[in-house]
Amino acid sequence: MAENIQDKVIVITGASSGLGEAAARLLASQGAKVVIGARRADRLRALATEIGIGDEGFLVTDVTNRSDVQALVDRAVSLHGQIDVILNNAGLMPSSYLELLKVNEWGRMVDVNIKGVLYGIAAALPHMIARKSGHIINVASVAGHKVNPGGSVYAATKHAVRVISEGLRQEVAQHNIRSTIISPGAVATELRDTITDPTVAEGMRKGYETALPADAFARLVSFAIAQPEEVALNEILFRPTAQVS
């Protein structure tokens, strides 16, 4: 079904590493017109060169800044005349026990994991409504389905993504716009590196011993996008086969 991806204009946040980078690489190889954003300009430039989208195909983007996200979507529309898909992928996971009172880290997770998704929706939705076509993909997590000690705030942000996405699905169906939630389990990315609590970090290290490569996520993004336009694949939850929790 990769033919349904050819020439689609796809905006990806958090594309400088991990899930976003893998998705950009795969979708570009399938003929999509990819426009990527993240905070690290050097990583973005290297990826843009690799996948052949040039300097115009990326924009340094902090998803906690609404104007940055709007500028990224506007770049895609300016380059290609439309936006077909937005992959709201940027995320942080500095999980910790609540008693440690890492309040600043709680705020960062809310700003990136929730507000960043909302800003992506706000930037893309008017274009999609005007065209009566589009696809919004929001990245949640297995943690959005369950919570473990040390993961309360992260789980709360990812549950919020799922709630927002379900409300979005119901609201935009009348505009012929599709929405998908993708909830990964353990995937080998830099996400774990944002954990500053050593106890949680050690537990997470053990849990990631069977982590999947980021390519697994990219293939599922491609699968969701490639469905026929009348098919909305609303939620994908996946884990390594060996992951129990």
Nearest residue to 24 (alpha-carbon basis) of 60, 48, 59, 56? 48
pLDDT of residue 180: 98
Mean pLDDT by 10 residues, the chain (245 residues): 87 96 98 97 96 96 98 98 98 94 97 98 98 98 94 97 98 98 92 80 76 96 97 96 86
Cα separation of 5 and 49, whole Å?
A: 21
Question: Which domains are present in the chain?
Answer: 2-238 (3.40.50.720)
Contact 20, 38 (CB under 8 A): yes
Handedness of CA 225, 231, 235, 237 (dihedral sign): negative
Nearest residue to 120 (alpha-carbon basis) of 96, 104, 136? 136
Active site residues per annotation: 154
Q: Which three-class secondary structure state does DSSP give residue 10?
A: strand
Report the 10 Å Cβ neighbour count for 14: 28
Cα separation of 117 and 157, whole Å?
A: 10
pLDDT of residue 239: 95
pLDDT of residue 197: 82
pLDDT of residue 34: 98
pLDDT of residue 179: 98
Contact 4, 60 (CB under 8 A): no
Contact 113, 43 (CB under 8 A): no
Rg (CA), the chain: 17
Nearest residue to 141 (alpha-carbon basis) of 1, 8, 18? 18
Cα separation of 245 and 238, whole Å?
A: 12
